[in-house]
Structure 1
Amino acid sequence: MPLPFLTADRAFDVQADDVALPFDDHDHDRWRRPYRPGPWRVGAAALLLLFASFVLIAGMIIAFAGALSGAAVCMVLGAAVIVAALRLLRIGTWVSRHGIRRVAFFSTTTVPWNRTTALRTVQQPVRWLGMPRTVQGQALMLEHRGGAQLALLTDHDGDFLSRLEAFDRAADSIEAWGAEYRTA
């Protein structure tokens, strides 16, 4: 079964010296992530799915033993863990012709391109793997009208930890989308 949210589109598979521009793709209406999920994010989701399989098997054993209320609790817990793993894989920055979308675990923020004023990479303290601890790193910041800023990517999150080249390519690609559609 193909899982399209796990892989970036082929339009974004570029060499280190190329930048994937938004006009290289023919379907601009679809929301897409211009980079692949990192190994930390995929590994955490895989562990969650492994845990969910154990919970579901336990629920099946409990159901065969005759305790249907316990089995129902296990099945609901297993389904919740699967949903959490899939949501973990959806986290990231998504772009389309309509704007830019920052997907977090519990929230999603969408900013249309015509409401953005700047999109740039800055050096600043960033959170390490989304935890409260901060380290010095790079972040791709989106500034939109009214002066509010939104951190789209950091080089220490689950997608780019110890993958600085991938962070640079993703930031360049998102900046290219912004340059193309902010002026349009």
Structure 2
Amino acid sequence: MPLPFLTADRSFEAADDIALPYDDRSRWRRPYRPGPWRVGVAALWLLLASFVLFGAVIIALTSSAASAAVVFAVALAVIAAALRLLRMGVWVSARGLRHVAFLVTRTVPWKRVIAVRTVQQPVRWAGLPRTVQGQALIAVRKDRAAEEPGPLLTTHTLDFLGRAPAFDRAADTVEAWAAEYRRG
């Protein structure tokens, strides 16, 4: 017997699309859940960080504090990278569209967005240089309408790898936010 209140994979129809009275639409929110591949990679990085922290404690007890501080700094860098990996993705609010990459975050106000649409194109597989045929969600901006827009979401990122229905729901949600706030 499934327990839907304990799982993250409830059906899309079961979710209420009605904004609740306490629902603050000016807060930045990700319109989809992080995928299992993204969470798994981040969990492995955090596991690695725990071993490095354990090593820092052993080095602090048996060797110099300076060596332990260097190893501790490496562990903090691994933790920060894992948390940034979990934060990556597309975020929306009443103010605009935010695309969070590993090193860069770009925010575009809705008034500068011409269109948000899903296109069929070659996309990078899991962020690697290898490309495969897939779908991508792109946002065309007023100030950069002439150049080719980069994808916001693709069917082959760590969030949607092997989860095509989840990509469709996320793309529809971002397109709905764009349609609502471009109107004003």
Q: Tell me the equivalent position of 1:5.
A: none
Q: Tell me the equivalent position of 1:4.
A: none
| Contact 1:14-1:20 within 8 A present in 2 as well | no
Distance 2:84 2:112 in 1: 27
1:159: how far off?
0.1
- Are the structure 2 counterparts of residues 18 and 141 from structure 1 closer, same or farther at C-alpha, using a change threshold of 3 Å? farther
1:139: how far off?
0.3
Deviation sequence 1:87-131 (CA, Å, 0-9, x none): 000000000000000000000011100000011000000000010
| Contact 1:125-1:137 within 8 A present in 2 as well | yes
Taking CA–CA contacts closer than 8 Å with sequence separation of 6 or more, which of the two structures ends up with the larger relative contact order? Answer: 1
Aligned match for 1:127, one of 121, 124, 128: 124
Distance 2:107 2:15 in 1: 24
Structure 2, unmatched stretches of 5+, are: 1-8
| Contact 1:20-1:173 within 8 A present in 2 as well | no
| Contact 1:119-1:140 within 8 A present in 2 as well | yes
| Contact 1:19-1:173 within 8 A present in 2 as well | no
- Greater than 3 Å deviation, 4+ residue runs: 13-21
Aligned match for 1:81, one of 69, 78, 83: 78
- Are the structure 2 counterparts of residues 165 and 114 from structure 1 closer, same or farther at C-alpha, using a change threshold of 3 Å? same
| Contact 1:126-1:156 within 8 A present in 2 as well | yes
TM-score, normalised via structure 2 length? 0.88
Q: Tell me the equivalent position of 1:173.
A: 173
Q: CA RMSD in A?
A: 1.8
1:1-184 matched pairs, under 5 angstroms: 15-17=11-13, 24-25=19-20, 26-146=23-143, 147=145, 148=147, 149-184=149-184
Deviation sequence 1:25-79 (CA, Å, 0-9, x none): 5201110001000011111100000000000000000101132111011100000
Distance 1:86 1:135 in 2: 27
1:170: how far off?
0.4
Q: How many equivalent pairs are there?
A: 171
Distance 1:178 1:155 in 2: 20
1:151: how far off?
1.2
- Are the structure 2 counterparts of residues 24 and 144 from structure 1 closer, same or farther at C-alpha, using a change threshold of 3 Å? same
**Percent sequence identity over matched residues?**
58
SS of the residue corresponding to residue 29 of structure 1 reads: coil
SS of the residue corresponding to residue 158 of structure 1 reads: coil
TM-score, normalised via structure 1 length? 0.88
